[in-house]
Amino acid sequence: MAAASEPVLSGAPWAPARPEPPPTRFHRVHGANIRVDPSGTRATRVESFAHGVCFSREPLAPGQVFLVEIEEKELGWCGHLRLGLTALDPASLAAVPEFSLPDLVSLGHTWVFAITRHHNRVPREGRPESEAVAPSRPPALLMEPYLCIEQFRIPRDRLVGRSRPGLYSHLLDQLYELNVLPPTARRSRLGVLFCPRPDGTADMHIVINGEDMGPSARGLPAAQPLYAVVDVFASTKSVRLVQLEYGLPSLQTLCRLVIQRSVVHRLAIDGLHLPKGLKDFCKYE
Give which of 92, 284, 274 is closest to 173, Cα–Cα: 284
- Are 148 and 175 found together in one domain? yes
Rounded-to-integer distance, Cα 257 and Cα 190, Å:
21
Residue 6 lies in a domain: no
Residue 203 is predicted with a pLDDT of 98
Q: How confident is the model at residue 1 (pLDDT cuts 50, 70, 90)?
A: very low
Q: How confident is the model at residue 9 (pLDDT cuts 50, 70, 90)?
A: very low
Name the more confident of 73 and 280. 73
Residue 13 is predicted with a pLDDT of 56
- Are 273 and 213 found together in one domain? no
Residues 171/139/117/105 CA torsion (nearest 10 deg): 110
Task: Give residue-wise pLDDT tens across range 269-285.
Answer: 777 888 887 777 776 66
- What CA–CA distances, in Å, run from 44 to 66, 88, 271? 17, 23, 35
Residue 153 is predicted with a pLDDT of 87
- Are 150 and 213 found together in one domain? yes
Residue 171 lies in a domain: yes
**What is the domain-level CATH number for residue 79?**
2.60.120.920
Residue 156 is predicted with a pLDDT of 84
Phi-psi region of 150 (alpha: psi -120 to 50; beta: other; left: phi over 0): left
- Are 237 and 259 found together in one domain? no
Residue 127 lies in a domain: no
- Are 52 and 149 found together in one domain? yes
The reported pTM is: 0.82
Residue 5 lies in a domain: no
Residue 79 is predicted with a pLDDT of 92
- Are 279 and 172 found together in one domain? no
- Are 60 and 182 found together in one domain? yes
Residue 247 in contact with residue 105, Cβ under 8 Å?
no
Residue 118 is predicted with a pLDDT of 56
Name the more confident of 245 and 78. 78
- Are 58 and 179 found together in one domain? yes
Residue 130 lies in a domain: no
Pairing of strands 227-231, 146-149: unpaired
Domain count, the chain: 2
- Are 201 and 113 found together in one domain? yes
- Are 211 and 277 found together in one domain? no
Task: Give residue-wise pLDDT tens across range 162-216.
Answer: 777 666 676 777 777 777 788 999 999 999 999 999 999 999 999 999 999 999 9
- Are 183 and 158 found together in one domain? yes
Rounded-to-integer distance, Cα 233 and Cα 80, Å:
6
Name the more confident of 102 and 246. 102
What is the b/e burial string over 128-160, where b = at least 16 CB atoms within 10 angstroms of the residue's CB?
A: eeeeeeeeeeeebeebeebbebbbbbbbbbbbb
**270: three-class secondary structure by DSSP:** helix
Mean pLDDT value of segment 147-170: 82
Rounded-to-integer distance, Cα 134 and Cα 119, Å:
10
Residue 17 is predicted with a pLDDT of 47
Residue 212 lies in a domain: yes
Residue 13 lies in a domain: no
Residue 5 is predicted with a pLDDT of 37
**215: three-class secondary structure by DSSP:** strand
For residue 14, pLDDT beyond 60: no
Residue 8 is predicted with a pLDDT of 40
Mean pLDDT value of segment 43-56: 97
Domain that holds residue 215: 26-119+140-246
CA 202 to chain centre: 18
Residue 127 is predicted with a pLDDT of 57
Give which of 24, 247, 62 is closest to 154, Cα–Cα: 247
- Are 51 and 181 found together in one domain? yes
Task: Give residue-wise pLDDT tens across range 95-143.
Answer: 999 999 999 999 999 999 999 765 555 655 555 544 554 444 544 433 5
User: What percent of the chain is modeled with pLDDT above 70?
Assistant: 78
Rounded-to-integer distance, Cα 266 and Cα 264, Å:
7
Residue 104 lies in a domain: yes
Angle (CA) 270-256-56 rounded to 5° is 115
